[in-house]
Amino acid sequence: MTRSPKPNFKSHLSEILHHALHGVAPAEQGVIIEFARPKQASYGDYSCNLAMQLAKPLRKSPREVAALLIEAMPDSPHLEKIEIAGAGFINLFLKTSSKQQFPGHVLTAGDHFGHTDIGLGKKIQVEFVSANPTGPLHVGHGRGAAFGASLANVLTAAGFTVEREYYINDAGRQMDILALSTWLRYLEIGDAEIAFPRNAYQGDYVRDMARLIHEAHGDRYVHQPELLFAEVPPATEEGSGEALLDSLIASAKKLLGQDYAYIHNFVLTEQLGDCRNDLMEFGVVFDNWFSERSLFDSGLVARVVQLLEQKGYLYLEDGAMWFRSSDFGDEKPRVVRRANGEFTYFASDIAYHLNKFERGFDRVIDVWGADHHGYIPRVRGALQALELDPARLEVALVQFAVLYRGGKKAAMSTRSGEFVTLRELRQEVGNDAARFFYVLRKSEQHLDFDLDLAKSQSNENPVYYVQYAHARVCSVLTQWGEDPSILATVDTSLLTSPAELALLQWLIDYPETVDAAARELSPHLIAFYLRELAAEFHSYYNATRFLVPEVPLRHARLALIAAVRQVLVNGLTLLGVSAPDKM
């Protein structure tokens, strides 16, 4: 059976409507032509509201405009009929024969079915997770990891060249607090009496690092602990204020001297290594791990501040250097260099984004926690001040995931140590459930992670439901026992039932779903699609015999479900979820 090249029906319909638009309303070429999927098959396969958009400028009723557009549309090899509905919707019905071609298209393309070229020639960086390496990743970080990895996969499938990056905050105060916390625990091993600050890092992993240092080096780093509090101002000795921590950090650096660098580098290496391994086990791999410290070592932070000063966007006040970010839509000016001469995190962040664009990316996508929403205007403002197009920076916000176990909410504070780690979550529910559940909602929406549901083997568990559809197809093909490769070329014209036509339409929709997920930075659209495809398949499976005596019908149905299996695999792969053959 000879097959025609795989059509993209939306693109095809858009072309013929553009042709009609040129004839009916040549002055309105800027109108965006959009399609929707009618909820009822009786209203067609696609519906377009173009006539309603043109009614006012043409001074005609939408139904009149719809009739003119239909008359001006060129013939299509894929359209069965066109109808005007309601106030002026144009409903388009595809030929059944065109739909019936799709199992062969899917099976021929295999793992590449759904890959498109909307991003061809474009280079994108996706930076995500980028958690401070001050402790194990928790379930909140897990959502950013799952979202970022899935988004990068979707963009790759849409034709973009994608680089995945993790930004290591290895030059800031939080690393100093972790180094101090670990050294204090180390001193406790040597029987030093230490008043451990309540807002230092409390987790068991801090004690573990202290123990490793002691096992390797004994008392080498016991440097006059009795003097630790000697230079702490009396006003900060009580309580758990941040001033106390800053004083203790300064005292530790003075007492340890050059040995402080060892403590700092040790805790950084340990936590970064744990983070890297955790993410790799989660199926999240980065092309580049970028060090914040390198921005200072290379002099880029100082150069950026100098550039902004030369352009007149900085001013001095109270000894600090301020960026006029309010000129670019931010709430107020922001400090880039403190009165003590130290650069702020914002200064290094400006330098980091300049570095990204100097590396030649056409677009940069930052995946940030939703609590960083207010940070967007100042970063974009800095890019504009540096004469870079701020629209090339896109920020995807990710709300924290809230974990529920037994109906109770789990705390996730890294400083207090009372958090559920990503590793613990993965061990409890598995990587597949974690990856799928994390992308089940839009990233900017809150996510309640129901552990009981994630572990259940029921139709209510969406990842189980989708994987079970794949396993069911595998079971049928195993029972059949012949070479599945022949299904790519069998006659599928016998696929005529409403259930079969509905499944064919879902196959047609998959590449369009990938495109939409890439354009909207919304991998949850893939998860939604897979759940709906699985539901359509399960209904078909429960009502259909596949291994019927009639060979042509048997082959046609097997080709259809084999195509469904391929699309399930492709979609699950984008989300980092496996497709088991047996359940």
Residue-wise over 1-28: b if at least 16 C-beta within 10 A, else e? eeeeebbebbebbbebbeebbeebbeee
Span 285-330, pLDDT tens digits: 999 999 999 999 999 999 999 999 999 999 999 999 999 999 999 9
Query: What's the rounded mean pLDDT across residues 56-82?
Result: 96
Residue 405 contacts by C-beta under 8 Å, 6 or more apart in sequence?
451, 452
Q: Cβ distance 466 to 534 under 8 Å?
A: yes
337 membership: H or E segment, kind and range: strand 334-337
Separation of alpha carbons 206 and 185, rounded Å = 7
**DSSP code per residue over 90-107:** EEEEE-HHHHHTHHHHHH
Please give the order of strands across the beta sheet that includes 123-127.
Answer: 288-291, 161-168, 123-127, 363-369, 393-398
Q: What is the pLDDT of residue 3?
A: 42
Q: Whole-angstrom Cα distance, residue 16 to residue 494?
A: 29
CATH code for the domain defined by 102-118+458-574:
1.10.730.10
372 and 400 Cβ atoms separated by less than 8 Å: no
Half-sphere exposure of 163 (CA within 13 A, CB side): 19
**b/e per residue, 197-223, with b = 16+ CB within 10 A?**
beebbbbebbbebbeebbeeeeeebbb
Q: Residue 335 in contact with residue 322, Cβ under 8 Å?
A: yes
At the topology level of CATH, where does 9-94 sit? Gyrase A; domain 2 (3.30.1360)
- pLDDT band with cut points at 50, 70 and 90 for residue 6: low
- pLDDT at site 412: 56
What 3-state DSSP class applies to 289? strand
pLDDT score recorded for residue 237: 47
| Sign of the CA dihedral with 519 first, then 523, 524, and 527 last | positive
Res 409: pLDDT = 82
Nearest in space to 389 (alpha carbons), one of 398, 376, 380, 400: 380
Q: Using CB atoms within 10 Å of the CB of residue 246, give its burial: 0 to 12 exposed, 13 to 18 middle, 19+ buried.
A: middle
Average pLDDT of the segment spanning 466-495: 97
Say what the pLDDT of residue 41 is.
82
Mean pLDDT of 245-267: 95
Residue 291 CB: number of other CB atoms within 10 A? 15
pLDDT higher at 402 or 518? 518
User: CA torsion angle for 550, 556, 557, 559 (degrees, to 10)?
Assistant: 140
- 3 state SS of 529: helix
Residue 288 has a pLDDT of 98
Contacts of 417 (CB under 8 A, 6+ apart): 135, 201, 202, 203, 204, 206
> Residue 490 pLDDT > 90, yes or no?
yes
Predicted pLDDT at 234: 59
Q: How sure is the predictor about 233, in pLDDT bands with cuts at 50, 70 and 90?
A: low
Beta strand 35-36 pairing with 401-405: unpaired
What ranges do the domains of the chain cover?
Answer: 9-94, 102-118+458-574, 173-273
Q: Residue range 272-281: average pLDDT? A: 97
pLDDT tens digits, residue range 416-464? 556 788 999 999 999 999 999 999 999 999 999 999 999 999 999 999 9
What is the pLDDT, as a whole number, of residue 488?
Answer: 97
Worst-scoring range by mean pLDDT, 39-43, 91-95, 313-317? 39-43
How confident is the model at residue 5, as a pLDDT? Answer: 47
CA distance 376 to 30: 30
Query: Which pLDDT belongs to residue 14?
Result: 93
Residue 413 banded pLDDT, cuts 50, 70, 90: low
pLDDT in tens, 177-217: 999 999 999 999 988 888 899 889 988 999 999 999 999 99
Residue 141 CA: distances (Å) to CA of 79, 80, 202, 437, 574: 48, 50, 19, 14, 19
205-207-209-213 Cα dihedral, nearest 10 degrees: -170
Average pLDDT of the segment spanning 15-32: 93
Single-letter code of the amino acid located at 14: S
Considering the chain, what is the average pLDDT of its residues?
93
pLDDT band at 2 (very low <50, low <70, confident <90, very high): very low
Could you give the angle at the alpha carbon of 369 between the alpha carbons of 365 and 131, nearest 5°?
Answer: 85
Question: What's the whole-number mean pLDDT along residues 119-134?
Answer: 96
Integer Cα distance of 487 and 287 in angstroms: 38
Whole-number Å distance between alpha carbons of 66 and 74 = 14
Looking at residue 448, its amino acid is D
- What pLDDT score does 62 carry? 96
What pTM was computed for the model? 0.92
| Inter-residue contact 167 to 125 (CB < 8 Å) | no
Residues 344-390: tens digit of each pLDDT: 999 999 999 999 999 999 999 999 999 999 999 999 999 999 999 99
